[in-house]
Chains A and B, each alone.
Chain A
Amino acid sequence: MIKRKWIMKSVSVAMIFAMVSSFTGCTGGKGESETEESMQQETETSSEEESETLVVSYSADTGDLNPHLYNSPMWVQSLVYEGLTRFVNGEVVPGIAKSWEISEDGKTYTFHLDENNVFSDGTPVNAEIVKKNFDAVLANKERHEWMETYQVLDSAEVVDEYTVQLNLKAPFSGLLQELALSRPTRIGGEAIFPEDGATSEKIEEPVGSGPWKQIEHVESQYALFERNDNYHGTKPSYKYLKVMIIPDINTAANSLKAGEIDMIYDIESQMTGDVFNELKAAGFEAELSEPVTTNMILVNTNSGPTKDLNVRLALEYCIDKESISENIYGGLQPVADYLMNPKTPYCDLPDLPVYEHDTEKAEELLEEAGWILEEGNDVRTKDGEELILRFLYEGDNDSVKTMGQVIQAECAEVGIKVEMVAQDATNYGNSQKEGLFELLQAETWGDPFDPHSYLSSFRTSSHGDYAAQLGLENKKEIDDTITKALNSTDENEVARSYEYVLSTLTEQAVYVPVTYTTKAYVYNKDVVSNVSYNTYLDVLYEEFTLNK
């Protein structure tokens, strides 16, 4: 009998341990003594809420919503906060500022605010609070100096209650476009500021004047936003937007099929062609945005055999973009002819050369460069040295790895040996900076960063672009021209400068544009309509229609 007790005791100890641990917290923080009545009420409210809620998925937590820092996804910051300007359908449009004037020397920007605009907590959006936001960002300026704006912005001044002035040390042609970025110059209400006024560490409460306000956030699970009835633009026609945190795209797809979510808006480009086509076949509306960024191979002009222009040109001809677009990206990314998509401001340059796939031409160029394919060899040689190029990529990016492997095979056909070098994110960043590659997969930055912010980065030593361009004879001229364009107030001069930069880089074959990336959005068409794409940092959820 005692022995039996022992067994029962030990087994039950284990079971109690398991039960206690498994059910602790299952109540989700709600009181345990909820009456039947209140539970019923809650069910009624929740079904009402459900019919007014658009449920979307996102792969990472929505963060602390600090408008002046980088811990939240950009598109989530755009839900809650507005900037002085906004970037919609390829154009700068009014945000908090209804209009603006630029001084002749391009150093003073005067913004007139909408007098009827208030934050979600009812406090006014006036010049004083705009200045307070700019002051807080400027106090932490060194963190934002990667943006041209923060290299030239000197101060913000209150002119009158609804007029604010930005004073610049030097003119910057992309200022209005950069002010539309979702950070760090989004304007938060008084409630965001901690006692010391410094938002560089934390904010008190996420209060903005955007179309939504956050009402609940359960870390790594979901964030719930409610329509901001004080919003001065087009108010959302439905009441709630729920963002479910689902790290895996296959899980998100299953969740959509099971009706748990209404839409996958694939900001992080996780969706594969297979998942996209499977959901389409299952009856969901599956759409692709216009080109967002350019997926390209950056060729190092300052290292190894790619110092030679003919080798770089050979690479332009030997890579079969059609095949990569079709076979790797399942048609989700169309072929890219240019480094900058022609729809980007100042980038519609039809006279730039386009390199079509032509392996014979590639072989000719390699012969010309002195790289000879001797009989019995697979790899070309020159003065006893083999033609070997390092293809650097981030190890956890499967589609880039596959693209690298296809490029490896295509290069092998013309006698170039490509070695794949996989690195984790941090080492990859470092190798880019140091220029430890001949080929590197990279992307342009997309709207509204392109072309100003992206081209501006060509001049900074921390970027792979800078390292790769260092071998060009006219690198200094390129950098100076970009600076001239950024500091100009003359549209024509900006256009001419960018044309010079882009045509030089194309002729020098520094970039092999491969595909234009797109963003996929898949949704249940019985539930959501009027879905569109704007930019990956500003999704216009307020314009979607919910038909639950």
Chain B
Amino acid sequence: MILLKYAIKRLLLLIPILFLVSVVAFGLVRMMPGSAEMAYLQAAGIPPSEAALQSASQELGLDRPVYVQYLEWIQKAVRLDFGTSYINNKEVKLELLGAFKNTMQLAGCSTLIILIISIPMGVLSAVRVDKELDNINRILAFLGSSMPSFWLGPLLVQLFCLRLGWLPVQGMGDWKNLILPSITMAVLYIATYSRCLRNSLLENINKRFVTYSRARGIPEKKIVMNHVLRTSLIPAVTTFGVNFGHMMAGTAVVEVLFSWPGLGRLCVSSVGSRDFPMIQGYIVVMALVFILVNLITDLITVALDPRMRESL
């Protein structure tokens, strides 16, 4: 019940936050250097004469005061109508939705890989602290966190696609297409979370409740898995909450490398072409993703730590 109330309160907070985000998104986009009219004409291959610029300005509604433009946009945006793209004349909502679905596939698959690898890696490192396994994991973590995706991606392509011929180089539609981009995205986070979990486990492993559990004769494996891991997951979950949004927003490099038609690619091309409706829609969607993922992680944290429930 307390959790439900908390979730409802947080969801209600979404309204003022999104309102603020909409104002900032609208304002920032209009403060970008370069005019949308010029970009619009360039995309259409029309030389930007004075007359052409003026007619583009009227056509796009940019000749009216900014607050009028904002009010018109926000009225539609609350009904999830973000207008049509300046560049390809398509509905922004549908474009964003299509790209969002694709990026979610990537981010979701990466999350799966991160969970499967980083939790056991973190636990094993903590249990065998400073032993061989911990050292190997440490080296792997260093390597992982120092490999940018624009370098790791082509390396993986060389090995798995060109030398071994196991996986496709680019495209989407098949499960095989998901593997390399997901791994490329996951490696950095695996390194971060496994170390984060290890350190957190080590902090907790000598706490009093662990000593008492040992005194009660509970087997070591059970103590680690049932008691220590649960408490230690909290920092990793919190970090993950923040990073999931980053992961969604930072997919551009991987999406270009593997020709994956997701949000990152869409955003980069929209910024380049000053596609105002698309950029505004993108910012609102990303803000929503950040807020919702943070809410979910907060709920998971509360679920993991009963003490937090009392503070709600």
A residues whose Cβ falls under 8 Å from a Cβ of B: 3-4, 6-7, 9-11, 13-15, 17-26, 28, 61, 63-64, 69-71, 142-143, 145-146, 201-202, 219-222, 244-248, 250-251, 254-255, 257-258, 260, 396, 424-427, 429-430, 433, 457, 460-463
Contact = CB atoms under 8 A, between A and B. Distances in A.
Given A14-B115, A19-B108, A260-B169, A251 B89 contact: no
A247 B254 CA distance: 12
Interface of B: 33-36, 38-39, 41-52, 55, 87-90, 98-99, 101-102, 104-109, 111-112, 115, 119, 154, 157-158, 161-162, 165, 168-175, 178, 182, 225-227, 229-230, 233, 237, 256-259, 261, 265, 272-274, 300, 303-304
A7 B34 contact: no
B105 A429 contact: no
> What are the 8 tightest A-B residue pairs by CB atom distance, in nearest-first order?
A426-B34, A21-B108, A220-B261, A22-B108, A22-B109, A18-B111, A462-B49, A18-B112
A6 B302 CA distance: 11
Contacts of A13: 300
Contacts of B259: 221, 244-248, 251
A220 B111 contact: no
Given A9-B303, A23-B105, A426-B38, A18 B173 contact: no
Contacts of B98: 219
B173 A424 contact: no
Given A64-B88, A251-B257, A461 B230 contact: no
Contacts of A19: 108, 112
Interface SS, B side: helix
A462 B54 CA distance: 13
A146 B47 contact: yes
Nearest to B271: A424
A426 B261 contact: no
Contacts of B38: 426, 429-430
Contacts of A25: 101-102, 105
B42 A429 contact: yes
Contacts of A6: 230, 303-304
A15 B98 CA distance: 23
Given A26-B175, A201-B89, A429-B42, A7 B161 contact: no
A21 B89 CA distance: 28
Contacts of B168: 258, 260
B178 A26 contact: yes
Contact of B50 (A4, A28, A461, A463): A461
Contacts of B265: 220, 247
B50 to A, nearest CB: 7
Contacts of B303: 6, 9-10
A24 B88 contact: no
12 contacts: A21-B105, A21-B108, A22-B108, A143-B44, A221-B171, A251-B157, A251-B169, A257-B162, A424-B33, A426-B36, A433-B48, A462-B48
